[in-house]
Chain A
Amino acid sequence: MLALTSILRRFAWDVQELTYYSGRLAARLFGRPFYGFEVLEQMYFLGVGSLFLVVLTGVFAGQGMALQFSIELADFGSKNYLGRVMVIAIVRELGPVLTGLMVAARVAAGITAELGSMKSSEQIDALVAFGVDPIRKLAVPRFWAIFIMMPVLTIICDFVGLAGGYMIAVYISHISGAAYWTNVVNKLNLGNLIIGLGKPFLFAVIVATISTFMGFRTVGGTKGVGRSTTDSVVACSITILFVNFLFTRILVPHLKGLL
């Protein structure tokens, strides 16, 4: 009982710290100085660096989904509707979530490890001592880079996921390619686009905020950096999945007329 109380107290403290940090980060997002070069550098690092991972994930997820759905749809004689189902699966759910998780695994780990190492070697203190705001210098460029690149990566993941589904549809399930793409385009309505493209912005905020927060509060040297990095990826992944559920639960009923 005592241990549970201690864990809950620690959790409440962490949430309070994260909330306070989020406020400090938000207050610095639009001010000066703005480190534009660092934003471009980070966009390249996380955008180009994550591209291969996101493409692979999208293709395999799309193909897996298409295989599963085509078997089930065939039982009802509705194989031709595979494209519609794929839009729901990929654009609404899997594209944003898988991209978010991949970015969390690769980028959040990298950011937390980098900032954690800087904290351990007193480089963050050195920045402060030389009159530089570390949140503005280190966290804000990473925030904007993730905020811009996450939707781009999600769109790429969606596209290759649907393309993966097309390969299965044509070469394994023997559905006409034209029928598949017609169904895809018909189902790409405003409601699905709002859901599919709204999520990556939220996930970007989650990954950028948690990963930089965990990096800045790293203590305990090399071991501490390892612990923070693991905690960062776990926290980002769980929060992405939880927010994805909340977003779907809250938004989908309101967008029913558009779906």
Chain B
Amino acid sequence: MIRFEDVSFAYGANPVLRDVSFHVAPGETVVVFGVSGSGKSTILKLVSGLIKPQRGRILINGEDMTGARESTWRRVRPRIGFVFQGGALFDSMTVGENIGYTLLEHTDRPLDEVEATVREALRFLNLSEDLIDLLPDSLSGGMQRRVAIGRAVAAVDPWIMLYDEPTTGLDPISTKAIAEMIVKLRDVKGVSSIVVTHQIADAFEVTDHFIVLNDGRVVLDGDGAALVRSDHPDVRAFLSPFIDSVRALPGMHIE
């Protein structure tokens, strides 16, 4: 579904990704770990075409999107749901308008049909339908993230979901609700997902495929067992602050 082949990207003279390669299969969820500035969010921006790689190839659904024209991106983007760090909800629009935004923008569906889809999305997200007319500012952080997920999934049946630190700054209950939402979306809609996060313990709840980035390079691409057994110094250094919570996970044992 998503394939990176030797992708490099730099902001000006500052290299962010160097020869990054990985593959996300259809219906699979991949979690990307890494310290701040390691290039995690840049991967999501490259997948959605917000930025272009300087080297390498990016394939989505078998189509080479590396040098794709804007018209090709306009066709593909509505099928990619992007949950931004902090939500990035349109603050001058209500919750309902945010969730129904892509439908209003890209389809000719009548308003009552869009409203029905929005209400269905709110129920799917375990949010009250009474929120539909509220502005994002009046919601809690956890609710805003869930509305952001709703905006992404209410689009035209997404192929891909991208989550940029979806649980950062949230309380444990909201974090668990978001993690469950990611799993539910994968199971119900069968979307391929990339989740960028620092929350290692929660990441184990959503997938068993992990990528660890350090200094713009992939230093690990494997399952949970490979992650905890890795003797790569960068992986060990990244895992060490979370060692207790990882050790507590079922089936995980670190020597």
> Once bound together, how far apart are the Cα atoms of A131 and B107, in whole Å?
12
Contact of A126 with B78 at beta-carbon distance under 8 Å, contacts A131-B102, A131-B105 already known: no
> Once bound together, how far apart are the Cα atoms of A126 and B147, in whole Å?
13
Of A121, A122, A123, A130, the contact of B155 (CB 8 Å cutoff): A130
Query: Which of B12-20, B81-89, B214-222, B234-242 binds A?
Result: B81-89
**B102, A126: Cβ atoms closer than 8 Å:** no
With a cutoff of 8 Å between Cβ atoms, the chain A residues found around residue B78 in the complex are 130-131
B188 in contact (CB, < 8 A): no
With a cutoff of 8 Å between Cβ atoms, the chain A residues found around residue B33 in the complex are none
Q: In angstroms, how far is the closest chain B Cβ from the Cβ of A119? A: 11
Of A125, A131, A133, the contact of B88 (CB 8 Å cutoff): A125
Query: How many residues of B sit at the interface, in one of the four size bands?
Result: 20 to 34
Of A122, A128, A129, A130, the contact of B85 (CB 8 Å cutoff): A122
B91 in contact (CB, < 8 A): yes
A71 in contact (CB, < 8 A): no
**A121, B48: Cβ atoms closer than 8 Å:** no
Contact of A131 with B106 at beta-carbon distance under 8 Å, contacts A122-B86, A125-B50, A125-B84 already known: yes
> B76's closest neighbor in chain A, by CB?
A131
Query: Which of B73, B86, B88, B90 is the most central at the interface, judged by chain A CB atoms within 10 Å of its CB?
Result: B88
Q: In angstroms, how far is the closest chain B Cβ from the Cβ of A35? A: 10
A132 in contact (CB, < 8 A): yes
B80 in contact (CB, < 8 A): yes
B232 in contact (CB, < 8 A): no
> Once bound together, how far apart are the Cα atoms of A132 and B77, in whole Å?
9
**A129, B86: Cβ atoms closer than 8 Å:** no
**A122, B105: Cβ atoms closer than 8 Å:** no
> B106's closest neighbor in chain A, by CB?
A131
**A129, B91: Cβ atoms closer than 8 Å:** no
A-B contact count (CB 8 A): 46
B74 in contact (CB, < 8 A): yes
> Once bound together, how far apart are the Cα atoms of A129 and B80, in whole Å?
8
> Once bound together, how far apart are the Cα atoms of A130 and B151, in whole Å?
9
With a cutoff of 8 Å between Cβ atoms, the chain B residues found around residue A125 in the complex are 45, 50, 84, 88
CB 8 Å contact bits of A133-144 with B (1 = contact, 0 = none): 100000000000
> Once bound together, how far apart are the Cα atoms of A131 and B49, in whole Å?
10
Of A122, A132, A133, the contact of B84 (CB 8 Å cutoff): A122
CB 8 Å contact bits of A96-137 with B (1 = contact, 0 = none): 000000000000000000000000011101101111110000
Contact of A121 with B86 at beta-carbon distance under 8 Å, contacts A130-B78, A132-B105 already known: yes
Of A121, A122, A123, A131, the contact of B77 (CB 8 Å cutoff): A131
With a cutoff of 8 Å between Cβ atoms, the chain A residues found around residue B50 in the complex are 125, 128-129
Of B74, B88, B101, the contact of A122 (CB 8 Å cutoff): B88
> Once bound together, how far apart are the Cα atoms of A131 and B82, in whole Å?
11
Of B48, B89, B90, B105, the contact of A129 (CB 8 Å cutoff): B48
**B91, A130: Cβ atoms closer than 8 Å:** no
Q: In angstroms, how far is the closest chain A Cβ from the Cβ of B94? A: 15
With a cutoff of 8 Å between Cβ atoms, the chain B residues found around residue A129 in the complex are 48, 50, 77, 80, 82, 84
Q: In angstroms, how far is the closest chain A Cβ from the Cβ of B178? A: 18
> Once bound together, how far apart are the Cα atoms of A126 and B106, in whole Å?
15
With a cutoff of 8 Å between Cβ atoms, the chain B residues found around residue A121 in the complex are 86, 88, 91
With a cutoff of 8 Å between Cβ atoms, the chain A residues found around residue B77 in the complex are 128-131
> A121's closest neighbor in chain B, by CB?
B88
Q: In angstroms, how far is the closest chain B Cβ from the Cβ of A30? A: 17
With a cutoff of 8 Å between Cβ atoms, the chain B residues found around residue A123 in the complex are 88-91
**B90, A131: Cβ atoms closer than 8 Å:** no
Q: In angstroms, how far is the closest chain A Cβ from the Cβ of B88? A: 4
With a cutoff of 8 Å between Cβ atoms, the chain A residues found around residue B74 in the complex are 131, 133
Q: Which residues 60-106 in B have Cβ within 8 Å of A in the complex?
A: 73-74, 77-78, 80, 82, 84-86, 88-91, 101-102, 105-106
CB 8 Å contact bits of B90-129 with A (1 = contact, 0 = none): 1100000000011001100000000000000000000000
* 17 cross-chain CB contacts under 8 A: A122-B84, A122-B88, A125-B50, A126-B88, A126-B90, A128-B77, A129-B48, A129-B80, A130-B82, A130-B105, A130-B151, A130-B155, A131-B74, A131-B102, A131-B105, A131-B106, A133-B74
